[in-house]
C-alpha cells in the first residue's frame, strides 16, 4: 500500500516551510501568552514549576501537528491499486527447423553445435511469450518433432530431447526440412508465419529442391530466416565410429552452402545469418527476436483510494484536544 501511495497536489508540501517560522514565533512569544503580574521581589515565591507548567508546550505541539496534517491532506494522498491485464493480439507462428545430422556434433561451438543451439533456442522460445512455436528435425529426411503450440513447456522439453541418432537417414535434406516446416504453418491464421532454418552443411539428400520449397513458402506468406552454423575453416567433426561404437573425430573442412541459404532468405523476404561461435549464434537469435515482434496490448486498471480524510479527521481531533486543554487545564496559563 505504501509503495503505491501518490499525492495529487504535491505542491502544497511547500507550505511545510512555514512550520519553522511558526515554531519560532511561538518561542519568542511564549511569555506573552501567559498571565503575569509585576512585583518588586520574587524571592518569597517557590521557583519550582508545576506539572501543568511543564505540560504547557503540549498545546503548541498539538497545534503544529494539526497544521502539518492539514497540509498533508491538502496534498491529496492516494493509494493506487494497479491491476494489469495482457491482451495478446494475433501472434506469430514459428517453426524451428533443426539440422540433426552427425556434423552437428562438431566441436567448433561449445560443447558442440547441437548443444549450443539448444541452449540459445531455449532462451528464444522463453522470450516468445505470445507466439506459437513448433519443431522440425531433419537430416537425410525430416519429420515434425512438435506441432505448432503455445505451450512453452512442451516445446522446451521437446527441444531438450533432440539428440543425434541413427534412426533418421544420414545426409542433409534442406528442401525436405523446409517442406515439412511449411506444411506445419501453411494454413495458420496468425498475423505472421516464420520458419527459422538452421544447418551446418549443404543440401545433399532428399527429393525436394530447397529453392522450390522457398517459392512454395512465398505462396503461403511464410518468411524464412536461415542460419549457417559452423566456424570458418576447419572444425573437429565426427568422421566415423570406433570398435566400441563411439564417434571418432578429426579436423574437417566446414562446408556450408551459403549461396543457397542466402537465396532462400531473399526469396521469402527473410535474412541469412552465419554463426561461427556461441556468441554469434546467441546474437542471431536475439536479432530475429527483435525483427519478429508480436502485438501485445497491456491494459492497466487504476483504483484510487483517497486517504486525505484520515489526515483531516486527525487534524480536527488534535485541534479539539488543544481547545479542551486551553479552556480547561491550561485556562489560567493561556
What confidence score (pLDDT) does residue 89 get?
53
With a CB cutoff of 8 Å and minimum separation 6, the contacts of 160 are 118, 122
Contact 249, 103 (CB under 8 A): no
What confidence score (pLDDT) does residue 80 get?
77
Rounded Cα distance, 104 and 330, in Å: 93
Q: 296-306 and 77-88: which strand pairing? A: antiparallel
What confidence score (pLDDT) does residue 1 get?
45
Query: Could you list the pLDDT tens digit for every one of the 334 residues in the chain?
Result: 455 678 888 898 998 898 888 888 877 876 554 555 555 555 555 555 566 666 677 778 888 888 899 999 898 888 877 666 655 556 799 999 999 999 999 999 999 999 999 999 999 999 998 889 999 999 999 999 999 998 999 999 999 999 887 766 778 999 999 999 999 999 998 888 999 999 998 999 889 999 999 999 999 999 999 999 999 889 999 888 877 878 889 999 999 999 999 999 999 999 999 999 999 999 999 999 888 876 555 566 677 788 888 889 998 998 888 888 777 776 654 4
- The number of residues in the chain equals 334
Q: What percent of the chain shows pLDDT beyond 90?
A: 49
SS3 category, 109: coil
What backbone phi and psi angles, to 5 degrees, belong to 40? -80, -25
Q: CATH top-level class for 90-294?
A: alpha beta
* Chain position carrying cell 512585583: 39
Q: Residue 249: beta bridge partners?
A: 238
Contact 213, 162 (CB under 8 A): no
What are the boundaries of each domain within the chain? Answer: 2-32+51-82+302-326, 90-294
What confidence score (pLDDT) does residue 243 get?
78
Q: Is 173 exposed, middle or buried (0-12, 13-18, 19+ CB in 10 A)?
A: buried
Handedness of CA 106, 108, 110, 115 (dihedral sign): negative
What confidence score (pLDDT) does residue 200 get?
93
Tell me: the pLDDT tens digits for 66-89?
889 999 989 888 887 766 665 555
pTM greater than the 0.85 cutoff: no
Amino acid at each position: 500500500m505504501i509503495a503505491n501511495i501518490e499525492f495529487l497536489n504535491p505542491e502544497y508540501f511547500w507550505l511545510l516551510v512555514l512550520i519553522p517560522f511558526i515554531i519560532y514565533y511561538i518561542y519568542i512569544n511564549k511569555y506573552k501568552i501567559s498571565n503575569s503580574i509585576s512585583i518588586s521581589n520574587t524571592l518569597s515565591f517557590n521557583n519550582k514549576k508545576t506539572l501543568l507548567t511543564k505540560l504547557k508546550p503540549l498545546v503548541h505541539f498539538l497545534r503544529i501537528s494539526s497544521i502539518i496534517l492539514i497540509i498533508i491532506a491538502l496534498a491529496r494522498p492516494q493509494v493506487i491499486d494497479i491491476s494489469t491485464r495482457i491482451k495478446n493480439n494475433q501472434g506469430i507462428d514459428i517453426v524451428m527447423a533443426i539440422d540433426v545430422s552427425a556434423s552437428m556434433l562438431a566441436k567448433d561451438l561449445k560443447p558442440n553445435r547441437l548443444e549450443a543451439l539448444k541452449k540459445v533456442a531455449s532462451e528464444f522460445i522463453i522470450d516468445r511469450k505470445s507466439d506459437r512455436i513448433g519443431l522440425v528435425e531433419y537430416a537425410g529426411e525430416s519429420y515434425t518433432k512438435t506441432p505448432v503450440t503455445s505451450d512453452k513447456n512442451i516445446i522446451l522439453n521437446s527441444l531438450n530431447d533432440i539428440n543425434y541418432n541413427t534412426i533418421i537417414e544420414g545426409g542433409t535434406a534442406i528442401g525436405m526440412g523446409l517442406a515439412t516446416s511449411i506444411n506445419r504453418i501453411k494454413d495458420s491464421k496468425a498475423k505472421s508465419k516464420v520458419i527459422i532454418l538452421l544447418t551446418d552443411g549443404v543440401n545433399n539428400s532428399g527429393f525436394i529442391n530447397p529453392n522450390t520449397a522457398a517459392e512454395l513458402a512465398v505462396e503461403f506468406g511464410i518468411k524464412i530466416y536461415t542460419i549457417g552454423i559452423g566456424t570458418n575453416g576447419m572444425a573437429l567433426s565426427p568422421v566415423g565410429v570406433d570398435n566400441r561404437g563411439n564417434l571418432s573425430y578429426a579436423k574437417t573442412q566446414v562446408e556450408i552452402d551459403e549461396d543457397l541459404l542466402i537465396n532462400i532468405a531473399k526469396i521469402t523476404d527473410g535474412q541469412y545469418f552465419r554463426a561461427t561461435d556461441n556468441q554469434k549464434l546467441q546474437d542471431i537469435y536475439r536479432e530475429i527476436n527483435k525483427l519478429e515482434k508480436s502485438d501485445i496490448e497491456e491494459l492497466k486498471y487504476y483504483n484510487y483510494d483517497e486517504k486525505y480524510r484520515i489526515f483531516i479527521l486527525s487534524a480536527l481531533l488534535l485541534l479539539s484536544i488543544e481547545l479542551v486543554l486551553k479552556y480547561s487545564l491550561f485556562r489560567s496559563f493561556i
